[in-house]
Structure 1
């Protein structure tokens, strides 16, 4: 009887499929073994947002003056009590005289404007220097603007839907830059002596989270970020985060990064070196934003590049610009993620991370994540995107994009109720 002969590659394929099958099942097993906790069952965290305007709060030293900036849009669910009380408690610890608060909101259809007006009054009673700017322009009004195909209006590009549409990223960059308008006025008045610029997303955080972030590496950073979670075990901001080699993080579960110094630091709970991050909260060295010539500001990629279906986050590009044109010193260098600072876009996500950060379940789930990303060779090289960038450069001499590691094969446009991939 003839024996059936197996090709050696077939055996290798079977082994690989078996390993992948095991990893998938292990992933599911640990997910259900350590399911999301019920936040209502734990009341121990309530005091973290217990703001008392008459309380005497010990001051935090070694941070300096902080310019706090925040954009809000439909944020009511997280503003009370988490965001607003977290901010007020932070100001108590830093000292009202040591902060400036810049908030910009536009077009929300929930209670966000009313809550921010109330916050403005509280900040006034605390003696906090601030600008809380609330405008009524909506996404619908922005996208209703008609632009003829022959026009070259910045931010509008021809899309696959056969019409010119308003790009999301330049709009976001403009909104973030509006937060810095008071900084420019303070500079003119000679009052812009800030050490840090702190950007806060609409996330659940505590005052201690922010203080820990501000003190990352004893203040030795050009930027330091938290990690943000929209679901209890899955980090959110994949668009802005890049490891120390400029690669995307291939997994949304711990330890997030592919092999190398970024993943090693994450596994050890040490500050994680990266090329870019944002992830809910980010503290910058203020110096590059305060330069008299070409101060650091947010931007999007050029429309002529974006039209080829290439996009990059303004929150990543600012790190690229800072690395290329920014000011650095031995005392403040590098972009880092503080893995001990984790925030959430809702309380269940924040609560889960607070309870289980660097617990046994996180280390166990890291096993299939690490093996899986290694077996699949993730993250894969973005050849299609890089080819488009090279063609764009050749079309016109002198073109350059220092944030090429930020770029992805996507196009984002504004729509009436938010934004959309096209």
Structure 2
């Protein structure tokens, strides 16, 4: 009797079909589980700010330089971001912070809200620079175009024309936040312990304090975890695990097997090579050194033209490691899984209420099984080949942030999405 021969690809196909079936069922299960949830507890008190209410000070953190870019952020600014910042300053002490905010061309209520914040900070006696651009987003884009496409940041694209890369612009905007730091150093007032970058996210003062105290302050950089949907983390572009690999899943536990996944499952600080994730605290020392201070950058145009790009928020970690910054007390880049922020209130509230609860552990099962079966994350052979070819074209070329790079070209058509 003839027997049907079993081909290994049939087994792989069956496994993949079973996996897809399982993932779909898990998705629908959690969709219906949370489609009609019980009323969430009232968390509005977390953002109740009053200049007349004394709040206990938090000690042992030192002086913090707080930096934030804003563009069309009105939906998050009130009450969450602004009140979260004010409550944080109350706990750290106005004399222990400097606030640097840069707004570029918003057309919503963001400029007005930041001007109001500036007045409140003035009454609190907070040293600051709140810089609000007087030009619109459209005017800023027109100015860049008028400067000509022979300037750095312009590359030839597959559309057959030179276009402006997005990442060099973002790096420049982030560096503008650090301009007051240079002025303070010249004045002898630049002795900061931490540089804290805040995205336009929902957070509380307690979230930031917990982040600043990650590993009792023993870190080069520490990041939160950011979410734009209740179950889905956001910043895939900058996050790299302890081996420099991309996170293969946007659902818990995010990382492939290894120490990063194990730490995430246990709720311990997660060792990574790079992160940003909505909120990140750096040891200030690399930003303050007199020679070659740490700043944001993009990959060279000559490399980007080969369809390779990397986040400025990842490259800054690579540059920090390249220059060998470390100290006995502060070492390593870490994600604090107990600090979660959201780009909207529903995402933030869900994570605050459900982190490390049974639904999160349950949903991790198909993620971990799928990552293991598909051997994710997959290698980036094309990117590696392009980097190797680029290095061979000219002696001395080097890119320490090769683990940051992806097979993408961030050149928004029509420049509509150049700015954040």
Normalising by structure 2, report the TM-score.
0.95
Q: In 2, distance between residues paired with 1:170 and 1:14?
A: 43
Gaps of 5+ in 2: none
Partner residue in 2 for 1:16? 15
Whole-angstrom CA distance in 1 between matches of 2:141 and 2:159: 14
Partner of residue 59, structure 1: 57
Shift of 1:18: 4.4
Task: Report the CA distance between 1:14 and its aligned residue.
Answer: 5.0
Q: List, as ranges, runs of 4+ consecutive aligned residues in structure 1 with deviation greater than 6 Å.
A: none
- 2:397 pairs with 1:399: yes
The aligned length equals 417
Sort the Cα spacing of 1:18 and 1:304 in 2 relative to 1 into closer, same or farther, 3 A.
Answer: closer
Residue 181 (1) aligns with residue 179 (2): yes
Alignment correspondent of 1:280: 278
In the alignment, what sits opposite 2:95?
A: 97
CA gap 1:127/1:410 in 2 versus in 1, 3 angstroms: same
| Structure 1: distance between partners of 2:303 and 2:10 | 45
Relative distance call for 1:418 and 1:245 in structure 2 (3 A) is: same
Aligned partners of 1:186, 1:31: CA distance in 2, in Å?
51
Alpha-carbon spacing, 1:37–1:329, altered in 2? closer, same or farther (3 Å): farther
User: What is the Cα deviation at residue 412 of structure 1?
Assistant: 1.1
| Equivalent in 335, 338, 342 of residue 337 of structure 1 | 335
> Which residue of structure 1 lines up, in the alignment, with residue 233 of structure 2?
235
The answer to whether structure 1 residue 81 and structure 2 residue 66 are counterparts is: no
Matches of 1:244 and 1:198, distance apart in 2: 22
Contact 1:26 1:368 in 2 (8 A): no
Contact 1:34–1:361 (8 Å) recurs in 2:
no
1:299 maps to: 297
Asked if 1 retains the 8 angstrom alpha-carbon contact of 2:106 and 2:137, the reply is: no
State yes or no: 1:129 paired with 2:127. Answer: yes
Equivalent-residue separation in structure 2 for 1:57 and 1:19 (angstroms):
54
Aligned-partner Cα distance in 2 for 1:130–1:10: 62
Aligned to 2:369: 371
Match of 1:46 in 2: 44
CA offsets 1:209-242 (integer angstroms, 9 cap, x no match): 0000000000000000000000110000000000
Q: CA RMSD in A?
A: 1.8
Q: What's the counterpart of residue 117 of structure 2? A: 119
Match of 2:31 in 1: 32
SS of structure 2 residue aligned to 1:83: helix
Aligned-partner Cα distance in 1 for 2:14–2:164: 49
TM-score by structure 1 length?
0.95
Q: In the TM superposition, what whole-angstrom CA distance separates every residue of 1:152-188 from its partner, at most 9, and x where no partner exists?
A: 3111111122221111111110011000000000000
Partner of 2:380: 382
Corresponding residue number in structure 1 for 2:206: 208
Q: Distance in 2 between matches of 1:38 and 1:365?
A: 17
The answer to whether the 8 A contact 1:143-1:165 is kept is no
Cα distance in 2, alignment partners of residues 215 and 264 from structure 1: 21
Q: Which moved more, 1:267-276 or 1:18-27?
A: 18-27
Give me the whole-angstrom Cα distance separating, in 1, the residues matched to 2:415 and 2:168.
Answer: 17
Question: How do residues 160-175 of structure 1 correspond to structure 2 at under 5 angstroms?
Answer: 160-175=158-173
Asked if 1:223 is matched to 2:221, the reply is: yes
Residue in 1 aligned with 2:267? 269
Q: Deviation digits for residues 391-416 of structure 1, max 9, x if unmatched?
A: 11111110000000000011112545
| Aligned equivalent of 1:408, options 397, 406, 414 | 406
Matches of 2:37 and 2:304 in 1, distance apart? Answer: 43
Q: 1:349 aligns with which of 347, 350, 355?
A: 347
Partner Cα distance (1:93, 1:10) in 2: 60
Q: Secondary structure at the match of 1:418?
A: coil
1:141 — aligned with what?
139
Structure 1 position 21, deviation (Å) = 3.4
Pairwise CA distance, 1:15: 3.7
- The 3 A distance-change label for structure 1 pair 181 and 107 is same
Distance 1:275 1:134 in 2: 33
Q: Is the 8 A contact 1:275 1:319 kept in 2?
A: yes
Q: Show CA shifts across 1:106-144 (max 9, x none).
A: 110000000000000000000000000000334433443
Q: Distance in 2 between matches of 1:166 and 1:141?
A: 15
> CA contact under 8 A between 2:164 and 2:415: conserved in structure 1?
no
Instruction: Give the 3 Å change call, closer, same or farther, for CA 326–121 of structure 1 in structure 2.
Output: farther
